[in-house]
Structure 1
Amino acid sequence: MSSFSLAFASATFPCNSSAMVASPHTTIRAHSNQGANNTFLSSKEFRKPFLQLPRFSQNNVWDIAPSQNMAIKDKNNRNCRDIHVAAIAAPPAITDVARESQDGIGIIDFLERRNFLVTGVAKVLIEKILRVAPNVRKIFLLIKAKDEQAAMDRFKGEIIGCELFKCLQQKYGEGYTNFMLNKLVPITQEVDVIINSAANTTLDERYDAALVANAIAPSRLLSFAKKCRKLSLFLHLSTTFVNGERPGILMEKAFQMGESRIDSSTQSKLDVHHEINLVSDLIETLPPNEVPQKLKEVGLARARMYGWQNVYQMTKAMGEMMINAGRGRVPVVIVRPSVIESTFREPFPGWIQGYRVLDPLILSYGKGRLPGFLVNPDTVMDVVPADLVANVIIAAMAKHGTAASPSINVYHAASSTVNPMTMCDMFNYSRDYFAESPLTNNQGDEIQIADMEYFSSIDSFSSYIQKDIAEKSGLSKEIGPNSNPKQRCRLEARCKRMAENLIHLAKLYEPYMFYRARFDSWNARKLMKQLSTEEGNKFPMDLRSINWEDYFANAHIPGLKRHVIKKASSS
């Protein structure tokens, strides 16, 4: 029997000296006591999805052991007693700071009067708050570590030195590091706003893992929110793709418990508790070595049965349902971004951490490894830069956090109805960029690429990519009398792996490459119109202002080369 444990890992959320930093990346991870082939969760523990959120103990330890079978583990699966929780306190108020105009939403005034607790990877959001509202009270940060020194080392290494925060580092100079290190304070329940951006975004994840991260964890965080005496808003970051595969214009509408994406009178309602019990039964009855693959298959099958394209979309929708059903009088805002890519302008163009949705396609194309793909070239790919998403979040929480009305409001941060870009456009922009600034191979030679080939079926794409790999590797050449059988065998195996990886990528992305819906953003546009002129300049969110060709040529692809390719090659 495997034990279920929660591990809280800090994201690299730096802050500036003017505000207290904080913002945790809450990673939920389950460990097996019997190796990788064992179950992810015990069935007994999986049936307890609504356990109370961990409490804060007096010695500043994040206590998350609601049962004897639950424990905190480090990366080596050893028990960790201490999860050191720290935040950076704001400096004394600066009396001569000019207040924002009374017109508009009052974003700056809202930010400077609140304490924030953030979960998930939200560096761009945190940087923006600290840069524009240096008198923000507190933003809480959780750091997972085995002891105090390890927590401090991780804080210095992963937070203070992050390049994204170079504007703040330049502003505060030599006092930047010392100020933050001297302002660490324990986390408390004195938070005004909770921003939940933690999620498992793997498209083909195991059903149990996706359920825990995307549905159960937000419900637990909401339970904690109800205990915060000063709470004025619970903001949940979701995705536009919770709308499933319905064609047409999809509206900014909150989910009700039991909703599916199938328009059928014969389709039963989606029962979240039943899905949890279904997964628990599978874990309990299947042989351990069959559980991982079976849970992936069941997750995909259940998602498609209810009208979603993958387990990520469905479990994110479940999370929204559970928040709406359990919110009581807690004010809730749900922000649904589409495909988040690198920053447009702030704090500088092109910042990105790791591969996002489109990046494997762009870089594989630029490296000459993906000359064709399974995609409708006329499909509208809804893209939104990370800094504009942050601005929508900030404006929405200022508007509804000030009112603190016990309602639920939904915003789409999406471009497909106001500034659409097709997949053909994206590949053409990439082709033009790499023609001017080609990537190089291991020998230092420039890689030349041709126009992208488009395929409408997985069979035609599979045949094409296998042939292309064989030709480029020399595998398709006739076997000569002096050929080495062992070398050819290794080459065949390598080519097979490359083809399998690209075919798997095509199958994984197929729903998005033929997506027929667009996302309405009326609420977000209405919010934008409510900003004052000064707020509009500080928190731009108009996606119509983006020239996509310029964005890809001068921000996104250069950012990929700097922040993704360069770091990958140096690691």
Structure 2
Amino acid sequence: MHTKREPPERSPGDAIFRACAPEAPALLPPRAEAAAGCPAATRKVGGRVRSSRPTPSLGAGYIESHVWEPREQQRGSEQLERLQHLREDPDHQPDPLPRPYKKNGGIMSMIAAFYSNKSVLITGATGFLGKVLMEKLFRTSPHLKVIYILVRPKSGQTLQERVFQILNSKLFEKVKEVCPNVHEKIRPISADLNQRDFAISKEDMQELLSCTNIIFHCAATVRFDAHLREAVQLNVIATQQLLLMASQMPKLEAFIHISTAFSNCNLSHIDEVIYPCPVEPRKIIDSMEWLDDSIIDEITPKLIGDRPNTYTYTKALGEMVVQQESGNLNVAIVRPSIVGATWQEPFPGWVDNLNGPSGLIIAAGKGFLRSIKATPMAVADLIPVDTVVNLTIAVGWYTAVHRPKSTLIYHSTSGNLNPCNWYKMGLQVLATIEKIPFESAFRRPNADFTTNNFTTQYWNAVSHRAPAIIYDFYLRLTGRKPRMLKLMNRLLRTISMLEYFINHSWEWSTNNTEMLLSELSPEDQRVFNFDVRQLNWLEYIENYVLGVKKYLLKEDLAGIPKAKQHLKRLRNIHYLFNTALFLIVWRLLIARSQMARNIWFFIVSFCYKFISYFRASSTLKV
């Protein structure tokens, strides 16, 4: 069991140094420090004194090659002298930590006040979690200075156009009310996590290094079938390079790494600790540089061991990289489980991708998914995305202000605190779809659970592939291109990759998460609520299905009556088809089997006698 970790004690001298340091080193990269006669041991990074080891450079990056003007060096030397004077002055009082302040007559939360005037860097900001994180930061801290987002260039679309596309979504409607100039506070940086130094320009890199206060590292590949080389590049090497950048950010206060609760899914009970992998991350990174794909494919099963895919394996490697290469940075790790639609903020049910349960809901609601191999009583450890975001923001505040002595891991899971199994979730999904059906369904929604491979393969053939083949035959007859069987095979491959997670249950300790919740003020607990025990699953799932219909499928609620009529037609077709199939099969049996004929004659004679008896009884009563 893990006990509650108390924040480290800080001496008055350390407090003075923390209060004053953000001004001085902001202008000094490693070369300027050397020019000013400042040893590496006194360099301030993330609120701590860096060790005496030299700061690594960004390789081919611009930092080491940047030439500082004498005026900049002189200015840096003056600020270093001022810093040294303040550290030696016992009467100097450091600036106080951010305090709650009144806004429109109300008390603003401590966390919201902390993020005011901060410069935040978010990787993966164009993803599901990153968008909700940006929205929450701007909505609760409208005085936030700037959010830097790393955006991969796209042909035919500028960075500003991509930002406009994000801000133009319904997700940011409330933000525009409290922060009308939000578009001016988002600074897109052209970057590619597959490239060295992320292919960031010298000017942009200079701005990031000199201004960033908080880093939220959300970027990752979440493809379960990703090649090991790709997964290592995005989940391990990119994390390593970002830590290297962070080590050269003098104003950095916290580095928050978003991992996954399934990084150690090979264990049944998972504590808030970093578990070592059999092979060191550095060896894996080095091997990816010279091994060809065929050899990597051959050794991948041996490397991942009893983990189900490269995603969970490389996320575990990424955590080890954070632990080993964070140096003296203030680092924390957040491990969410299966991230789903929003619970409360900015409104219930918002979702914009097909990952996780969203794809299953669409497949079941459209009638494509009729059966799935799952353990009905296994815990469906689903966590709303706004719950994860609230915890992440609170972790950023706690890590920067309290500076824990070690890297803390926070589990954002629901299974231990408010469990819901797959059976109950499936029933509620189908019940909601009956009330608000999806348009143009392929078949009547009805998904069943199977528990073994034989029944799974049988229902895949009968309920999935056979109807797809029949529909493709119809498309060919009408002169259209067949596509349903290809779509169905793709769906079944996706389902097979999810089977591991819907057939197992895990126990995650949440000591650090509960500790953090207890550290928050009542106002912070309200504004940044991540207490999943308050979640009503039936209401949440209903909003989830409604959100999938509105925000993913883009279907108007005015079309619900028409969709219900379509489901009635599908039900009648289903009954008619089953009746016709039964009669055909039975007729074939009668023609070929004497036993079948005897059974048929017995049933017919029994029905005739029953009807005759009923008529005779009715006549006698009259």
Name the CA shift for 1:144/1:461 in 2 (closer, same or farther; >3 Å): closer
1:115 alignment partner in structure 2: 119
Instruction: Indicate whether 1:216 and 2:204 are aligned.
Output: no
Query: Which one of the candidate residues 442, 451, 454 is aligned to 2:449?
Result: 454
- Contact 1:469 1:495 (8 Å CA) reproduced: no
How many pairs does the alignment contain?
447
Alignment of 1:417-566 (within 5 A): 417-441=416-440, 448-450=444-446, 452-469=447-464, 471-473=466-468, 475=470, 487=477, 494=483, 496-553=485-542, 555-566=543-554
Alignment of 1:249-260 (within 5 A): 249-255=269-275, 259-260=276-277
2:284 alignment partner in structure 1: 275
Alignment of 1:254-403 (within 5 A): 254-255=274-275, 259-260=276-277, 269-283=278-292, 291=294, 295=296, 298-303=299-304, 305=305, 307-403=306-402
- Secondary structure, aligned partner of 1:235: strand
Deviation at 1:401, TM superposition (A): 0.5
TM-score (norm 2): 0.65
Summarize deviations over 1:136-175 as a string: whole Å, max 9, x none.
Answer: 232223445589993333333x2331221100223456x6
Larger radius of gyration: 2
Name the CA shift for 1:243/1:368 in 2 (closer, same or farther; >3 Å): same
User: Residue type matched to 1:460 in 2?
Assistant: T
Report the aligned-residue RMSD.
3.7
- Contact 2:148 2:186 (8 Å CA) reproduced: no
Name the CA shift for 1:439/1:272 in 2 (closer, same or farther; >3 Å): same
* C-alpha separation in 2, matches of 1:473 and 1:183: 44
User: Residue type matched to 2:460 in 1?
Assistant: I
Instruction: Indicate whether 1:226 and 2:226 are aligned.
Output: no
- Contact 1:374 1:461 (8 Å CA) reproduced: yes
Name the CA shift for 1:466/1:399 in 2 (closer, same or farther; >3 Å): same
1:412 alignment partner in structure 2: 411
User: Residue type matched to 2:540 in 1?
Assistant: Y
> When you count helix as a share of all residues, which structure comes out higher?
2
- Contact 1:53 1:221 (8 Å CA) reproduced: no
User: Residue type matched to 1:370 in 2?
Assistant: L
* C-alpha separation in 1, matches of 2:167 and 2:232: 33
TM-score (norm 1): 0.70
* C-alpha separation in 1, matches of 2:316 and 2:284: 13
- Contact 1:214 1:319 (8 Å CA) reproduced: yes
* C-alpha separation in 2, matches of 1:466 and 1:363: 20
1:52 alignment partner in structure 2: 58
- Contact 1:381 1:420 (8 Å CA) reproduced: yes
Instruction: Indicate whether 1:139 and 2:147 are aligned.
Output: yes
Deviation at 1:331, TM superposition (A): 1.2
Query: Which one of the candidate residues 191, 202, 215 is aligned to 1:194?
Result: 215
The percentage of aligned residue pairs carrying the same residue is 24
Summarize deviations over 1:75-132 as a string: whole Å, max 9, x none.
Answer: xxxxxxxxxxxxxxxxxxx997479979x9x312321253211111311111111111
Specify every segment of 5 or more residues in structure 1 that has no aligned partner in the other structure, as ranges: 1-49, 61-93, 261-268, 478-482
Deviation at 1:309, TM superposition (A): 1.7
User: Residue type matched to 1:467 in 2?
Assistant: V
Name the CA shift for 1:181/1:250 in 2 (closer, same or farther; >3 Å): closer
* C-alpha separation in 2, matches of 1:321 and 1:470: 43
Name the CA shift for 1:209/1:149 in 2 (closer, same or farther; >3 Å): closer
- Secondary structure, aligned partner of 1:525: helix
Deviation at 1:500, TM superposition (A): 2.5
1:127 alignment partner in structure 2: 135
Name the CA shift for 1:273/1:567 in 2 (closer, same or farther; >3 Å): farther
* C-alpha separation in 1, matches of 2:62 and 2:555: 37
* C-alpha separation in 2, matches of 1:429 and 1:341: 15
Query: Which one of the candidate residues 121, 129, 154 is aligned to 2:162?
Result: 154
Deviation at 1:194, TM superposition (A): 1.1
Name the CA shift for 1:441/1:393 in 2 (closer, same or farther; >3 Å): same
Deviation at 1:460, TM superposition (A): 2.6
User: Residue type matched to 1:299 in 2?
Assistant: T
* C-alpha separation in 1, matches of 2:477 and 2:459: 24
2:3 alignment partner in structure 1: none
- Secondary structure, aligned partner of 1:211: helix
Summarize deviations over 1:507-544 as a string: whole Å, max 9, x none.
Answer: 21121021131222121112111111111111111101
* C-alpha separation in 2, matches of 1:476 and 1:340: 34
- Contact 2:135 2:171 (8 Å CA) reproduced: yes
